[in-house]
């Protein structure tokens, strides 16, 4: 039978070794540098503060101007459960998230995962950025992540622009 007491004892044993703290600090330190990189180097984007999470995810949001017009943002996430860097298309609130989920499910996204709306699910579309990575080579990792995030943003912006064009044409045809 599962026991919180047993879990806490195991956690204490791991903490006494010091590895968990060092690894966690390394991830947080890298995420801070990555957030700063996005805030300073990505034109037309602002970045939010870093959210450290509860050892489930650590993330910050990036706000490309076209996505902001739609009340959308990109979350750059370190997902501890699957131990990888991801990008999530997210919305300002659940109502907007549901609206855009309906829109995005209308086409296939072979390079990304379409999320299923549910309580506690904040993404609409997800993109893997780095699964096999070296924090000891931060410049290489940052380049890999930046390239993937920019491609993800471009794909989303292209889709939204095409959708707006279709809606405008449909309105004019009436």
Is residue 74 within 8 A of residue 62, CB to CB? The reply is yes
Domain residue limits at 126 = 29-173
In-domain check, residue 162: yes
In-domain check, residue 39: yes
In-domain check, residue 97: yes
Q: Give all strands of the β-sheet with 123-130 in edge-to-edge order.
A: 45-47, 57-64, 72-79, 84-91, 123-130, 113-114
pLDDT of residue 139: 95
Instruction: Name the domain count of the chain.
Output: 1
Which candidate, 48, 89, 58, 46, places its Cα nearest to that of 71? Answer: 89
In-domain check, residue 8: no
pLDDT of residue 74: 97
pLDDT tens for each residue of the chain, 174 residues long: 678 999 999 989 988 998 999 999 999 999 999 999 999 988 788 899 999 988 899 999 999 999 999 999 999 999 999 999 999 999 999 999 999 999 999 999 999 999 988 888 899 999 999 998 999 999 999 999 999 999 999 999 999 998 765 655 555 555
In-domain check, residue 77: yes
Which candidate, 140, 123, 124, places its Cα nearest to that of 132? Answer: 140
């Amino acid at each position: 039978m599962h026991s919180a007491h047993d879990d806490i004892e195991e956690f204490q044993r791991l903490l006494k070794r010091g590895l968990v703290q060092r690894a966690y600090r390394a991830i947080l330190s890298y995420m801070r540098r990555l957030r700063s990189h996005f805030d300073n180097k990505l034109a037309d984007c602002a970045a939010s503060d870093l959210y450290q999470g509860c050892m489930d995810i650590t993330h910050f949001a990036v706000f490309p101007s076209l996505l902001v017009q739609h009340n959308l943002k990109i979350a750059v996430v370190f997902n501890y459960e699957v131990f990888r860097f991801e990008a999530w298309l997210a919305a300002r609130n659940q109502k907007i998230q549901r609206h855009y989920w309906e829109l995005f499910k209308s086409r296939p996204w072979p390079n990304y995962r379409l999320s299923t709306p549910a309580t506690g699910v904040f993404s609409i579309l997800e993109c893997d950025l780095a699964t096999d990575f070296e924090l000891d080579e931060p410049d290489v990792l940052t380049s890999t992540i930046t390239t993937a995030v920019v491609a993800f943003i471009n794909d989303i912006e292209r889709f939204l622009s095409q959708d707006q064009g279709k809606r405008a044409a449909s309105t004019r045809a009436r």
